[in-house]
Structure 1
Amino acid sequence: MEDIIYLGWKINIPSHRPKELFAVPNQVRALRLALNLTQREVAARAGITRQTLSLIEKNDYNPSLKLCLQLCYILNATLDQVFWVAPTEEI
């Protein structure tokens, strides 16, 4: 078991699947590539590190709503185009 802090709560989760439990799929990488932007360029505009953007693209980091919106503005896309999860999809 692994302990994580989520919204101020300490949660015990199996260590073999911790990231999958909270990761939300996104289209950041696909949209960035369609605009011919590098990770470094997008990260600089968003005020984050390239490493953080890489983690977001790999679904290993859930950005705040403010950061999600900033990425949407940079990628010329709406929130639902970038971060939407269909009701039938498993998060």
Structure 2
Amino acid sequence: MSDPRLGSRLKEVRTAAGLTQVELAALAGVSRKTVNTVENGVFVPSTILALSLARALNTTVEDLFWLVDSGPSRPLA
């Protein structure tokens, strides 16, 4: 069940980077299923996972995830 408090831009940023779920998973050191469940809101990433995904995508955690009640911290360019 997804957490309605967590907003995510993971899939959008991953696809803009031209990466598949398998490729992102390899860069972040996790399984494809982990990437899939985070993208689909089934799994809320730990701090370490969120940092690993952000590093793999050359961005910040704040650009990937935010608390829904506060909105994204920055608009996409």
Corresponding residue of 2:60: 78
Corresponding residue of 1:39: 21
Q: How does 1:47-66 map to 2 (within 5 A)?
A: 47-66=29-48
Larger Rg: 1
Among the aligned pairs, what percent are the same residue? 32
Higher relative contact order (CA 8 A, sep 6+): 2
CA contact (8 A) 2:11 2:39 kept: yes
After superposition, the CA RMSD in angstroms is: 1.8
Corresponding residue of 2:51: 69
Deviation at 1:35, TM superposition (A): 0.5
2: CA distance, partners of 1:24 / 1:86: 5
What is the aligned residue count? 71
Structure 2 alignment gaps of length 5 or more: 72-77
Greater share of helix residues, 1 or 2? 2
TM-score using structure 2 length: 0.79
